[in-house]
Amino acid sequence: MLGSNALWRELGFRSPAAFRVALSRGMIDVPFFTLPNRRGRFALAKDIAGWIACKRHAVQSSEPDGSRNQPMPSSDS
């Protein structure tokens, strides 16, 4: 489980304020929840990992030749 202080960093926001703005605008597709007697929002680590994996997949599939993140061929023949 991750709290607000860790969430903004893990999701790649530059500041807690940027995270709060994105959250209030509904721009983050992660299920958040609150806890009684605790401040802030929380999310499960597995949900955050899934969100990051989806974003990575979207970037890779948008590459025209699919060459992104492919190992470079070895020059020692």
Kindly state the helix (H) or strand (E) to which residue 63 belongs, with its residue range: none
Provide the residue range defining the domain that includes 48. 2-62
| Domain annotation covers residue 33 | yes
| Domain annotation covers residue 75 | no
| Domain annotation covers residue 71 | no
| Domain annotation covers residue 73 | no
User: Residue 43 and residue 54: Cα distance in Å, rounded?
Assistant: 16
| Domain annotation covers residue 9 | yes
| Domain annotation covers residue 45 | yes
Planar angle of CA 71, 48, 54, nearest 5 degrees? 45
How many domains, in total, are found in the chain?
1
Give the 3-state secondary structure of 22-33.
HHHCCCCCCCCE
For residue 76, is pLDDT > 90?
A: no
pLDDT tens sequence across 33-66 = 999 999 999 999 999 999 999 988 888 888 766 5
pLDDT, greater one: 22 or 74? 22
| Domain annotation covers residue 46 | yes
| Domain annotation covers residue 77 | no
